[in-house]
A = this chain, B = another copy of it.
């Protein structure tokens, strides 16, 4: 639940939660639905209640590159686009029928201005996100294809077998043929 996620970072009061939570609107989204396209400004921040999301972009040759996966109980968005209101470099889509809770930038700004705790929450959330990106960067920068896949399994244990192999391969910066061969060898 989104409440648990919030209070896990910051001790919001009951009154604060009662004011904040209604701004998150429930959205049911069908598999493969695209939430944001490249170039659009991301106007909502999503919380994944059920399902899986991913962000990706297209290389010049048209190939998709997955940038991130968003599992249950995670916020999903094109972070910099949402907070900086700049055109998104990424597409955002769901990979399964999903239930999301979304809040608009406008409402988020109001909450940030109103509640010091909300600022703290977003600060901590961003630092957490930053730490995850740093972790991925380390995995990608100097590890072999096999080690990268090991990182993937650790970072996204619940996701690694529910999404197409090609999405994972591009997330890891390797080809799907290579990943297929890694999986084959892994299963002894």
The residues of A with any CB-CB pair to B shorter than 8 Å are 57, 59, 65, 67, 79-80, 83-84, 89, 112, 116, 119-120, 122-124, 126-127, 129-131, 133-134, 136-138, 140-142, 173
Contacts and interface: CB of A to CB of B under 8 A. Distances in A.
Contacts of A131: 79-80, 84
A42 to B, nearest CB: 13
A79 B141 CA distance: 19
Contacts of A112: 120, 123
Q: How many monomers of this chain does the complex have?
A: 2
Contact of A141 (B123, B134, B173): B173
A76 to B, nearest CB: 15
A24 to B, nearest CB: 19
A134 B65 contact: no
Nearest to A133: B133
A129 B57 CA distance: 20
